[in-house]
Amino acid sequence: MEWTQEQRAVIYGNYWAQEESHCPDDNAVLDVKFQYEGLLATCPRCRKTIHMNMNEDPKKDTFRQWTAVEINEMGDAHFQNKSSSCPVCQRCVDIDATSFSGMTVLNLSCQRCGNKHEIKSK
Binding site for Zn ion (CB under 5 A): 23, 25-26, 43, 45-46, 86, 88-89, 91, 110, 112-113
Question: Closest Cα to residue 43, out of 14, 23, 25?
Answer: 23
Within 1-122, residue ranges assigned H as helices are 5-18, 68-79
- Whether the CA torsion 98, 95, 21, 10 is positive or negative: it is negative
Strand partners for 3: none
Shortest distance, CB of residue 5 to Zn ion, whole angstroms?
17
Q: How many residues in the chain?
A: 122
Least separation, in Å, of the C-beta of 81 and Zn ion? 21
Q: Which is nearer to Zn ion, 90 or 104 (CB)?
A: 90
Nearest residue (CB) to Zn ion, 43 versus 74? 43
Q: How many CA atoms lie within 13 A of 72 on its CB side?
A: 3
Q: How far is the CB of 62 from Zn ion (least distance, A)?
A: 10
Residue with smaller CB distance to Zn ion, 33 or 45: 45
Q: What is the closest distance, in whole angstroms, from the C-beta atom of residue 102 to Zn ion in the complex?
A: 31
What residues form DSSP beta bridges with 99? Answer: 104
Nearer to Zn ion, 76 or 103 (CB): 76
